[in-house]
């Protein structure tokens, strides 16, 4: 009598990974752990360098040149840190493929196929981001610490990190926003850390108009994320015996422009005595550099006319 046939899985041979394959897996794991450790160490070293530079700046006179130098230093450190991160992981990937290529032809073909597949999906966007980041850094679109609005998304915040592939913003509410460099079509950069505004109103009495602005200034919220500089009277112009133009200036945090555009005019209008305000208040964004450029352009046109 013939014995019953054995199930097919009993006759199948179990192929265990070879010793060279196991050694290669351990080496690959060690490579990526080392790459991760180098990346973290580079990040901590970069933060230490930035803090050291900030402490030096605190001990000296803080002027525009000092702030610009600090921003450039932070931008360079951020760029080097992110570039080093990609470099160490890229080297680890290349060495890993080389190690697997020595374990057998089939493993090498599988690894190469997977590598080509990943490159095919990711290389186009990755290289586009890298090129866009390089040209943005080379042309000096913005620096770490700048208040920017990135288009076409309208993202607002302070540049927290600038890398070759992506840029990270810190919004005024604390949110962290990261965007690929190739997705940035335009960048609006505030010339300073705050938004400068000018408020104009026409009143019948200069003294009462000044008091009105001062009362409104005492009620607005102040702080680094609100009114950085409360409203103050910058210009007074007597237009007629009973008509005075008063201009007040203030600065607000980027992203909180509504405090100057909506809250401040409402306070002035609600607390103005009847018949005092003839027109206004009107709020306009201002910039001394832009004003000087426009004045120079107007003077050139008058000379050429």
Distance CA 89, CA 142 (A): 27
Task: Give the H/E segment covering residue 279.
Answer: strand 277-285
Where in the chain do CATH 1.10.287 domains reside?
A: 19-139
CATH fold of 194-293 reads Alpha-Beta Plaits (3.30.70)
Q: Output the pLDDT for position 63.
A: 46
CATH 3.30.2010, domain 19-139, yes or no: no
Top pLDDT among 209 and 30 is at 209
Q: What is the DSSP string of 198-242?
A: EEEEEES-HHHHHHHHHHHHHHS-BSTTSEEEEEEEEEEEEEETT
Omega prior to 152 cis, within 30 of 0: yes
Question: Which of 19-23, 221-225, 241-245 is most confident?
Answer: 241-245
CB within 8 A of 202, min separation 6: which ones?
A: 239, 243, 244, 245, 246, 277, 278, 279, 280
Task: Give the H/E segment covering residue 186.
Answer: strand 186-189
Where in the chain do CATH 3.30.70.260 domains reside?
A: 194-293
Where in the chain do CATH 2.30.30.60 domains reside?
A: 147-189
Q: Output the pLDDT for position 61.
A: 46
At 248, is the secondary structure helix, strand, or coil?
A: strand
- CATH for 147-189 is 2.30.30.60
Mean pLDDT computed over every residue of the chain: 76
Tokens found for residue 86: 């990609």
Distance CA 287, CA 198 (A): 9
Top pLDDT among 73 and 136 is at 136
> What is the DSSP secondary structure assignment for residue 75, as one 8-state letter?
H
Q: Output the pLDDT for position 50.
A: 60
Task: Give the H/E segment covering residue 188.
Answer: strand 186-189
């Amino acid at each position: 009598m013939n014995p019953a046939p054995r199930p097919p899985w009993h006759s199948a041979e179990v192929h265990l990974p070879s010793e060279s394959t196991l050694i290669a897996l351990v080496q690959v794991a060690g490579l990526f752990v080392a790459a991760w450790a180098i990346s973290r160490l580079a990040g901590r070293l970069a933060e230490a360098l930035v803090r050291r530079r900030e402490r030096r700046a605190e001990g000296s006179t803080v002027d525009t040149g000092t702030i610009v130098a600090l921003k450039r230093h932070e931008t360079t450190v951020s760029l080097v840190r992110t570039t080093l991160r990609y470099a160490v992981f890229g080297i680890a990937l290349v060495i890993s493929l080389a190690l697997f290529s020595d374990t057998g032809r089939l493993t090498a073909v599988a690894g190469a196929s997977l590598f080509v597949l990943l490159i095919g999906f990711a290389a186009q966007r990755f290289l586009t981001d890298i090129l866009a980041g390089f040209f943005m850094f080379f042309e000096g679109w913005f620096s770490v610490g700048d208040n920017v609005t990135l288009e076409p998304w309208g993202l607002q915040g302070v540049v927290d990190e600038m890398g070759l592939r992506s840029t990270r913003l810190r919004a005024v509410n604390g949110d962290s926003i990261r965007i690929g460099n190739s997705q940035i079509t335009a960048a609006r950069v505030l010339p300073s850390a705050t938004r400068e505004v000018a408020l104009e109103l026409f009143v019948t009495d200069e003294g009462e108009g000044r008091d009105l602005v001062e009362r409104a200034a005492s009620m607005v919220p102040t702080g680094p994320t609100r009114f950085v500089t409360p409203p103050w009277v910058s210009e007074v112009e007597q237009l007629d015996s009973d008509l005075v133009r008063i201009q007040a200036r203030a600065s607000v945090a980027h992203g909180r422009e509504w405090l100057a555009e909506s809250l401040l005019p409402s306070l002035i209008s609600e607390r103005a005595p009847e018949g005092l305000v003839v027109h206004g208040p009107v709020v306009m964004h201002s910039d001394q550099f832009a004003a000087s450029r426009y004045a120079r352009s107007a003077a050139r046109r008058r000379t050429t006319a």
